[in-house]
C-alpha cells in the first residue's frame, strides 16, 4: 500500500532508535490478593486461581496466576520503573495513549506463577514496523519472566501500535 497523501497529522511517534533496548531487570512480588481480584474480574471459576486451600490440595504452594496475568506483570514493571526513578518502558519507546492500541499478545509458558513468588522481568524492544503507508505504526516487545529457582516461567510477545486516523 502506498503513502496516503491525504493523511496529515502525527506520524511516527515511536522512538525507533530504541530498537534493541533491553530494560534493567525489574523484581516484582506477586501478591495473593491482587491475583485473586484479577481472577475474579475475569470470572475464573477454577479455585486454583482464588482459593489457597484448593490450590494447596492440588499440590501448588499457593494460588496460581491466571494465564493472562503475565501481561499484568509487564505493566507492573513499568510502574516499578517509574517508582524507582527510571523512565517506564512505555515512555522510553514513546507510547502516546491517544493513538495507542494493543495489536497482538502471545505467551509461552515454561512454568506456573504462584502468589508469593518473586519474579524478575526483562523486556527487549525487538522491532518497529509500519503498515498502510505509516498510518499504523507498530512496536514488538519481548519479555521474559523468571524465578530465581524455577528459571524462566513465561516468555511474552506484545505488539502495540499507534493508529493515525
Partner 1 sequence: MEQILSSEDARPGSALPELSFGPISRSLLAQYAGASRDPDPVHIDIDFARAAGLPDVFAHGMLSFGIVSRMVTQWCGVEQLREIGARFVAVTQVHDVITCHGTVIECFERAGETLARIEVTATTQDGRNALSGEALVALG
| Total binding residues toward partner 1, as defined by CB under 8 A | 38
Contact residue for partner 1 among 16, 19, 94, 105 (CB under 8 A): 105
Count of other CB atoms within 10 angstroms of residue 91? 13
Contact residue for partner 1 among 29, 56, 101, 118 (CB under 8 A): 101
Q: Is 29 in the site for partner 1 (CB under 8 A)?
A: no
Q: Of 110-149, which residues contact partner 1 (CB under 8 A)?
A: 112
From residue 67 to residue 86, the character string flagging contacts with partner 1 as x (rule: CB under 8 A) and all else as - is: xx--xx--xx-xx-------
* Nine cell digits for residue 106: 502471545
Q: What is the DSSP string of 81-131?
A: HHHTTSPPHHHHTT--TTTEEEEEEEEEESS--BTT-EEEEEEEEEEEEEE
What is the 8-class DSSP label of residue 64? Answer: B
Of 97-105, 114-122, 130-138, 144-152, which part binds partner 1 (CB under 8 A)?
A: 97-105
Find, among 160, 102, 103, the residue nearest to 126 by Cα: 160
Minimum CB separation of residue 121 from partner 1 in Å reads: 13
Contact residue for partner 1 among 109, 132, 142, 150 (CB under 8 A): 109
Amino acid at each position: 500500500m502506498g503513502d496516503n497523501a491525504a493523511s496529515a497529522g502525527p506520524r511516527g511517534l515511536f522512538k525507533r532508535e530504541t530498537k534493541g533496548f533491553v530494560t534493567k531487570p525489574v523484581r516484582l512480588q506477586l501478591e495473593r490478593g491482587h491475583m485473586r481480584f484479577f481472577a475474579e474480574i475475569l470470572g475464573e471459576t477454577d479455585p486454583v486461581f482464588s482459593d489457597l486451600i484448593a490450590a494447596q490440595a492440588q499440590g501448588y504452594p499457593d494460588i496460581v496466576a491466571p494465564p493472562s496475568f503475565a501481561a499484568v506483570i509487564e505493566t507492573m514493571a513499568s510502574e516499578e520503573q517509574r517508582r524507582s526513578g527510571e523512565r517506564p518502558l512505555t515512555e522510553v519507546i514513546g507510547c502516546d495513549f491517544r493513538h495507542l492500541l494493543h495489536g497482538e499478545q502471545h505467551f509461552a509458558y515454561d512454568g506456573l506463577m504462584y502468589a508469593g513468588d518473586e519474579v524478575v522481568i526483562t523486556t527487549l524492544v525487538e522491532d518497529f514496523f509500519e503498515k498502510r503507508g505509516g498510518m499504523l505504526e507498530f512496536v514488538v516487545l519481548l519479555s521474559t519472566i523468571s524465578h530465581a529457582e524455577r528459571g524462566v516461567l513465561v516468555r511474552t510477545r506484545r505488539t502495540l501500535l499507534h493508529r493515525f486516523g
